[in-house]
Amino acid sequence: MSQLLQEIKEKVVETLELPDVDASQIGDDDPIVGGSLSIDSIDVLELVIMIEEDYEVKILSKEQGEEVFRSFRSLAEFVEANLPK
Partner 1 sequence: MSERKVFIAGAGIISPVGKGLAETAASLRAGSRPFAPLRLFPSPSLNPLPTGEVVAHFESPDFLPRTFSLAAEAAEQALAAFDGPPDAVLLGITTGGIASTEVALKNNIEDPAAYRYHGAGEVAEFLACKLGCPGPVLTVSTACSSGAAAIKIAADMIRLGMIDSALAGGADCLCRLTYYGFNSLQLIDPKGARPLDASRAGMTVAEAAGMVLLIGSENPPPGAIAQIAGGGLSCDAYHATAPHPEGEGALGAMRGALAEAGVEPGRVDYINLHGTGTIDNDSAEVKAVVKLFGEVPPAFSSIKGMTGHSLAAAGGVEAVVSAICIAENFAPANIGCEVPDPELPAAPILQTKEAPINLVLSNSFGFGGNNASLAIAAPDFTSVGEQTTGRSCLNIKRSALIGGAGGPEACLARLLAGGSIAGETPMAELEKALDPKLIRRLKKTPRMTLLLAQSVVESESVDSIYYGTGWGPLGETYSFIDRLFRTDEKLSSPTDFVGSVHNSPAGQTAMRYHATGANITTTGGDYSFEQAILSATVLGRSGEQMLLIGVDEHHPKLSPLFDGSFDPEAGGSDGGAAMLVEASATRRSPGFNFIFSGSALDPALAIERLAAAIKKENIETPAALLVGIPRAVDQMARRQLEMLCELFDPAPPLIEYRKLTGEHASAAAQAAALAIELKKNKIIPAELSGGEEIAIDNAPLLIIGLGTRITAIEVY
| Residues forming the site for partner 1 (CB under 8 A) | 16-20, 38, 40-43, 45-46, 48-49, 52-53, 61-62
| Min dist. Cβ of residue 51 to partner 1 (A) | 11
In 3-state terms the chain splits into helix, strand, coil percentages (rounded to 5) of: 60, 0, 40
With respect to partner 1, which residue has the nearer C-beta, 29 or 53? 53
Position 45: which residue type?
L
With respect to partner 1, which residue has the nearer C-beta, 2 or 42? 42
With respect to partner 1, which residue has the nearer C-beta, 40 or 67? 40
CA dist., res. 61 & res. 14, Å (int): 23
DSSP state of 8: H
